[in-house]
Amino acid sequence: MTENTTPRRIAETYFRCWEAKDFAPLRPFLAPDCSFTGVFGTAHGPDDFLRGLAGMAQATDSLVVRARLADDRDVITWFDLGMGGAPATAVANWTRVENGLISEVNVTFDPREILAASA
């Protein structure tokens, strides 16, 4: 594992791509059977994963990373997400990295303010 392919660096790439709304640099870090589970849906495989993340990115007003903790395969990123004109919502993102590839991402947050703003 090189310095650029540590789980922490891969998670940083994930969030940089989200903020830039450019996912080409993230694709090489997605496992063929990667999965995403979140409040607004699920995704399976790189194409579905990136399509869902691109949709979230388009709806994102702001994204501020507050903390990131990582070990040799798991990364927890705590961040504030602004969407749909709603106040920023605290979000926990757990990214699992195996053999230098994202195998799964699980996200949790309270969506009530985002849903209320979009109603």
**Which pTM does this prediction carry?**
0.92
pLDDT tens, 89-117?
999 999 999 999 999 999 999 999 999 98
| Mean pLDDT across 34-45 | 96
pLDDT tens, 1-17?
555 789 999 999 999 99
Residue 35 tokens, joined? 């999965």
Hey, which bits of the chain come out as E strands? Answer: 30-38, 41-44, 60-70, 74-83, 89-98, 101-109
Is 74 buried (19+), middle (13-18) or exposed (0-12) by CB count in 10 A? middle
CB 9 within 8 A of CB 1: no
Q: What is the total residue count of the chain?
A: 119
